[in-house]
Amino acid sequence: MKLFIVLSLLAAAALADDLYDESKTNLDVDELVSNERLLKGYCACFLGKGPCTAEGVNIKKFIPDAVQNACSKCSPRQRSMVRKMCQAIKEKLPADWQELAAAFDPQGQYKSKVDTFLAASD
């Protein structure tokens, strides 16, 4: 029984190491999606066309991997945050959404994975 508990704890620690660092994504996503100017600023950051906040820099680092793996290394809070942000960009800034898609998935090979991820609700 003790061995099972130790192995479970080790497995949980290994899985936690595979997630993106939660402490580096302290972003009030509700404020972000309600402020189009701020949302546009984050898009510019992600595209390398404007300055980035500390949160923007950290989020930008995991975008390529998150796109390729449909946010599989995101915590539940990060998945929710990414979905809200992406839906807001798609609805309010469709040209920026297209530009982000072209930048992070130029061949469109991850589009169906991303669409499925965005449609899910975990």
**Mean pLDDT value across residues 93-104:** 96
Task: Report the alpha-carbon distance of residue 7 to residue 12 in Å, rounded.
Answer: 9
The pTM of this model reads 0.78
Task: Report the alpha-carbon distance of residue 48 to residue 51 in Å, rounded.
Answer: 8
Residue 41 has pLDDT above 70, yes or no: yes
CATH number of the domain bearing residue 7? 1.10.2080.10
Domain that holds residue 63: 2-119
Residue 15 has pLDDT above 60, yes or no: no
Task: Report the alpha-carbon distance of residue 26 to residue 106 in Å, rounded.
Answer: 29
48: left (phi over 0), alpha (psi -120 to 50) or beta: left
Between 114 and 21, residue with greater pLDDT:
114
* Domain total of the chain: 1
